[in-house]
């Protein structure tokens, strides 16, 4: 039997690759897991009881774009967070942001652009679904290096003209995974202008927007763009420490949203009613978000102290992007596991080779999700192991 060729060259996902890298190596000490970005702070204690109380809602098919009460709560959150007035016709609930990040390519990438196959521009390294959505839509993913030299964001002046002219979607992640970089307002404005000039849309993955070090990251909705040119994607996974709830939303211009909703009517999975009700309450509550952020900020201070002179804590999100001595992240990850039982992720496992370079080859990504004591222990081991 034949299989689609467009997925043939996908590398193994980062975590199976990590298991293969460490296969047969015993941890040198009791393990400290810092590889997966799974939040571990508490979520509000009313979430479980409320889900149980609303369980009768599982007996009903939920509305495809999300129930009005959830969309109202999201619109109110957007108004508070970004000062932007957005009608509920511009919103759609998502089963977590990953679903939306895939669906945007399916719904919005045309068959041809400027007389050829369209491109989808993707930061490199990146959250992998961006490129898979592009392939599924028969577009050509073009990887834009995000290194220290480019401020860990795509260099908007270095994109080949042909890739820009054929561009259908430009994925930006801010705060970024893995580097923790925040795109400043000036950058977002320049990107919006570029989208206008070359007739493409910007999809901004803002799922880490509520976890920040010094100041709330600006959002693409504040960049003054034509609403049809931007799609922003948000999630409760990191904001509310509920990655298993599978709840997020997309916001876009009315026509763009009409297209996204129409595809969902046929092929999407709406958010179950009880989860939507809990989500509406979560978007309306900032106290738990502030408490979680304060813990992350304390951990950032801890990381800055332990890694002084080596790495700085992220501007946003919860990953420490650690440059390793010798520049070989895979060797460093093997050594951290074998000598100290610390599990990190080689940065290049989140990147693709492009133009002979694989960005991230010299960095290990460490998730700052463990409790404070475990984190202090883990980071101390990393420092001693790689810089002794
Ligand atoms: C950059 C980025 N985008 C999206 C997601 C997906 O989050 P979810 O689907 O849980 O909202 C993640 C999860 O780790 C992520 O790191």
Q: How far is CA 242 from CA 135, 138, 309, in A?
A: 29, 33, 34
The answer to whether residues 275 and 246 touch, using CB atoms and an 8 Å cutoff, is: yes
Partners of 330 in beta bridges:
none
Q: Does position 9 have pLDDT exceeding 90, yes or no? A: no
CA angle at 318 for the pair 344 and 370, rounded to the nearest 5° = 65
Write the CB contacts of 230 (distance below 8 Å, at least 6 apart in sequence): 192, 195, 201, 202, 203, 204, 220, 221, 223, 252, 253
Nearest to 303 by CA among 239, 249, 372: 372
pLDDT above 90 (res 268): no
350 Cα–ligand 1 center, Å: 13
Cα 114 to averaged position of ligand 1 atoms, centre (Å): 32
Domain chopping of the chain, boundaries = 5-42+288-386, 59-285
Q: Quickly state the pLDDT bin for 384 (edges 50, 70, 90).
A: very high
CATH topology of domain 5-42+288-386: 3.90.1150
Reported confidence tier of residue 368, pLDDT bands at 50, 70, 90: very high
Q: Which residues does a 6 A CB cutoff place in the pocket of ligand 1? A: 37, 96-98, 127, 173, 177, 205, 207, 235, 237, 243, 248
Tell me the per-residue pLDDT of 20-75, one tens digit each, with 9 for 90 and over. Answer: 999 999 999 999 999 999 999 999 999 999 999 999 999 999 999 999 999 999 99
Nearest CA, atom 6, ligand 1: 98
Q: Which amino acid residue places its CA nearest to atom 2 of ligand 1?
A: 127
Ligand 1 center–CA 59 separation, angstroms: 28
Question: What is the tens place of the pLDDT at every residue in 302-336?
Answer: 999 999 999 999 999 999 999 999 999 999 999 99
Percent of the chain residues past pLDDT 90, beyond the cut: 96
CA of 238 to the centre of ligand 1 (A): 8
Contact 328, 362 (CB under 8 A): yes
Distance from the CA of 105 to the center of ligand 1, in angstroms? 16
Tell me, which fold does domain 59-285 have in CATH? 3.40.640
Q: What is the mean pLDDT of residues 156-181?
A: 98
Ligand 1: which atom is nearest the Cα of residue 235? 11
Atom of ligand 1 nearest to the CA of 176: 1
Residue 20's pLDDT is: 97
| Per-residue pLDDT reduced to its tens digit, 236-254 | 999 999 999 999 999 999 9
Interval 189-230: pLDDT, tens: 999 999 999 999 999 999 999 999 999 999 999 999 999 999
CA 37 – ligand 1 centroid, Å: 9
Q: Within a 10 A sphere around the Cβ of 90, how many other Cβ atoms?
A: 24
pLDDT score, position 366: 98
């Amino acid at each position: 039997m034949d299989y689609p060729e467009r997925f043939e060259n996908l590398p193994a996902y980062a975590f199976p690759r990590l298991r293969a890298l460490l296969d047969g190596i015993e941890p040198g000490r009791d393990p400290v897991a810092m590889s997966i970005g799974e939040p571990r702070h508490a979520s509000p204690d009313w979430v479980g009881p409320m889900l149980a109380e609303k369980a009768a809602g599982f007996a009903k098919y939920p509305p495809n774009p999300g129930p009005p009460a959830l969309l109202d709560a999201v619109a109110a959150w957007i108004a508070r967070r970004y000062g932007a007035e957005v009608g509920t016709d511009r919103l759609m609930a998502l089963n977590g942001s990953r679903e939306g990040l895939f669906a945007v390519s399916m719904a919005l990438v045309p068959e041809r652009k400027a007389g050829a196959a369209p491109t989808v521009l993707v930061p490199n390294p990146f959250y992998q679904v961006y490129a898979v959505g592009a392939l599924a839509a028969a577009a050509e993913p073009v990887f834009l290096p995000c290194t220290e030299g480019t401020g860990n964001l795509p260099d908007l002046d270095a994109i080949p003209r042909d890739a820009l002219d054929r561009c259908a979607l430009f994925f930006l992640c801010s705060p970024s995974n893995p580097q923790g970089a925040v795109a400043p307002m000036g950058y977002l404005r320049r990107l919006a202008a570029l989208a206008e000039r070359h007739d493409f849309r910007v999809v901004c993955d803002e799922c880490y927007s509520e976890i920040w070090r010094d100041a709330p990251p600006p959002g693409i909705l504040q960049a003054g763009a034509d609403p049809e040119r931007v799609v922003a994607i948000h999630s409760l996974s990191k904001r509310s420490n509920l990655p298993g709830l599978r709840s997020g939303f997309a916001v876009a211009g009315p026509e763009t949203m009409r297209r996204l909703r129409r595809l969902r009517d046929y092929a999407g999975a709406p958010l179950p009613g009880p989860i939507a009700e809990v989500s509406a309450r979560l978007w309306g509550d900032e106290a738990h978000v502030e408490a979680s952020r304060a813990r992350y900020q304390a951990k950032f201070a801890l990381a800055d102290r332990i890694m002084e002179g080596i790495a700085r804590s992220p501007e946003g999100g919860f990953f420490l992007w650690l440059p390793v001595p010798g520049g070989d992240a895979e060797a460093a990850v093997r050594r951290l596991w074998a000598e100290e039982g610390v599990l990190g992720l080689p940065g290049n496992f989140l990147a693709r080779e492009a133009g002979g370079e694989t960005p991230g080859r010299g960095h290990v990504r460490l998730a700052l999700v463990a409790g404070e004591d475990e984190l202090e222990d883990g980071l101390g081991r990393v420092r001693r192991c790689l810089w002794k």
